[in-house]
Structures are given as C-alpha cells and as structure tokens.
Structure 1
C-alpha cells in the first residue's frame, strides 16, 4: 500500500488503513500529519533536539526561499495578539504598517475582534475563544493559511503572497 500521510510525532508514514487510528483516537488526532515523505530521519533538526523540521524551527525556516512549513501558537487567555509571517527583508526598527506591501501577512485579535491585515482589513467571525492558532505557509504557491487548531477549522487564507 502507498503512504497517504506522514505523522511528525510518530515519525512514520501511513497508508489509508493504518492512518485510521489517527483520525479516530483523540490522543492521536492532535498529531501533526503532512503529505507523505521519505526518510523522515533526514528532516530532523540537530539544533532543536532532533525534532522534525516541519514542526519546529520557525525562525530558521523564515529564510527559506521555497517550500512549506507549519507552526502553532498558543493564544489561550490572551486578550490581544498578532501573528503571521513576514518577509525577511522588512525593517524591524521603523514604525511599520502591517500590510502585504510592507511584507506582513498577519492575523490580529483585539477587543474580541479578529482581523486579517491584507490589502484591505478582513474582519472575521469569532466562533469561540481561540486557544491555539496554526499557521501554514507555502512559499511556492504564495499561500498563508490560519487555522483554529482545537476546532480543526480554517480561519482564513491569503493567496498571491510574495515573500
């Protein structure tokens, strides 16, 4: 059988049949699944205790000119936050407007309002209190997506991003 997903926690690739427990068992549902990949051991990060590169190393991956990565941020009990991705070349010393033209693709939560800062501000519905937000970036496709990790729900995606 051909692998359909790789688990970044178990460090194993699974076919449809053996993937089923990851979709049914609550403890396994939290495991990060990605498209199947060969040689998971080659993707281990020597800096971060040999953790898988797709799950850690957000700062190091920010410099990659291509590829994909995913990270999660705990936002539970926070009254305000902004998270997302930025172009490597942005100035970190000047006063900045968080827009794609300035190299920012961010999701902002403040005063019980959720807003994506793109070319226009996109106000998004807040279904429940967010606890953990997942951010997926595909450099080659120019895509940034945000997810409610606990609800396993898509929040917003920005396309046409130029990193």
Structure 2
C-alpha cells in the first residue's frame, strides 16, 4: 500500500514537471513575441520560466531514479560483483541519509522564506518559498527511493551481473 502511494506521488510530481515543461516552452515563445513584436518585454515570463525549470528538476528527481534513467557510474569491475553490490547498497543508504539531512535544511529555509514572505508581503518577483518546497519534496521522494523501499522498475547492471554470476556458479 505504501509503495502504491509512493508511486502515485512520484507520478504526480512527474506530471506536474511535464506541465511545467510545456509552460516553459509557451512562456518563452510568448516572451519572445512580446519583446520583439509588441516591444513590451515581460519580466514575469522570464522569472517564471527560471523558477519553473528549477521546480521541474526538483520534482522529476525521484521519477528518473524510479525509472532507472539517472546517471550511474560503475567503478568496480564486474568480476567483483558481490563487493560492488554491497558497496551499492551502502552508498544508497548514505545517499538517502544525506538526502534527508539536506531536506531538513531545505525545509528550514522554506519555512523562513514563507514566514518572512507573509510578514513582509512580497510585491516584487515570484515567491522564493515555492522552489524551496518543491526541492524539499524532491529530496524526500528521492531519499525514500534510495532506501529501496520501492524497487526501480528496471534491473541495474550490478544486480544483473550478480544474478548472472550466481547462475554460472549453480551450473558448475
């Protein structure tokens, strides 16, 4: 049940990220039209696309890991597959811990930005607490993934080489 909820949260974050990607394309085209045809550049369109790209990246972080489409670097040769698998599990847990610690700092920054924005009343630019909140959400979702409560949807190279070595050893 928790895995299903997690997958739905990650999918919802990916959909929002995709919608922001469409928005960025439309806002950029509209900004160029306004600047060169209407001779009235829009500061809002420019700033909102900058913020949208950050939010898009933060929200799609866990989705790319879940689909196994993130960048992985294998530094230990395949013949040490069991050692590599142990190191991989250890590094996943360290990454999850760092993700949660960083998320705590980001949440503190989000809370401070939100509190000061409400007190002062932001009249210039877009609120800074929005990307902080999405960064917090992205870090938490990624940290949960790194704990391997939810398996990636594709098998990693390490897991495949361990399984291959075990089948070869069984045949011998």
**Same fold, TM-score > 0.5, yes or no:** no
Q: Which has the higher contact order (CA 8 A, sep 6+)?
A: 2
TM range (shorter): under 0.3
Q: Greater share of strand residues, 1 or 2? A: 1
Using the size of structure 2 for normalisation, the TM-score is 0.20
Q: Greater share of helix residues, 1 or 2? A: 2
Using the size of structure 1 for normalisation, the TM-score is 0.21
- The structure with the larger Rg is 2
